[in-house]
Amino acid sequence: MKVVIVGAGLGGLACAIACRREGIDVEILERSPEIHEFGAGIQVPPNGSRIMREFGLLPQLLEKGSQVQDVHFRRYKDGRLLRTMPCGDDITEEYGTPWVIIHRVDYHRILHDEAMRLGVVLRLGAEVTDISTDETTALLADGTIVVADVIIGADGI
C-alpha cells in the first residue's frame, strides 16, 4: 500500500510516522522548496505527548521543551489573575503523559528527523493543484501525476 500525504507540517509528519510504523509506504508532497517551520511556542497537551511516547519520541520532546507546571487564567482587560490550574506531575499522573511547551521549530525537527529515519519519501517543491478521488491521484503544478492507494490532506488551513 502507498499513502501520499499532502503537506509536511506537524500533522503530515505525524501521520507519515504512524503509517511507516505500520509498514506502509509513504510519500509526502510539500509545495515549499525547502523544509522549514515557523512560529513560536506550541503546547503539546497529554493526548499529543502520548502519541509522541508511542512514537518513542517523548524523551526528545522533553529534552527540547518544558513540562507545564501551572496555567494562569487572567482577565484580558486588566491582567487580573482569575484562576490557577496546577499541571506538572498532577497532569502526568491523571493522563499518563505530561503537558509540554516547545518551540514549534524544535517539535517539527523531531518529527521530520523521525520520518526520514523511517524511510518516508519527501518531495519538496511539489505543489498539488488537483486531486482525483476516482483515480486516487494527485496532480502537481509541473504536470506530474502521483498515484497512491490513499491520499491524505495535511496541508493546513
On whether the pTM is more than 0.75, the answer is yes
Residue 156, pLDDT score: 82
Cell of 148: 497512491
Residue 36, pLDDT score: 77
The single-letter code of the amino acid at 49 is: S
Residue 39, pLDDT score: 76
The single-letter code of the amino acid at 131 is: I
CB atoms within 10 A of CB 12: 25
Exposed/middle/buried for residue 45 (C-beta within 10 Å: 0-12, 13-18, 19+): middle
Count of domains observed in the chain:
1
The single-letter code of the amino acid at 42 is: I
Range of the domain at 60: 2-153
- CB contact at 8 A, 17 and 116: no
Residue 73, pLDDT score: 96
Residue 113, pLDDT score: 98
Residue 112, pLDDT score: 97
SS (H, E, C) 79-96: CCEEEEEECHHHHHHHHC
| Pairing label, strands 128-132, 121-124 | unpaired
Cell of 87: 499541571
Average pLDDT, 10 consecutive residues per value, the chain (157 residues): 97 98 98 84 95 98 96 95 93 95 96 98 97 96 98 90
Residue 38, pLDDT score: 73
d(CA 92, CA 30): 35
CATH number of the domain that residue 32 is part of? 3.50.50.60
Give 75's contacts (C-beta < 8 A, 6+ positions apart).
Answer: 82
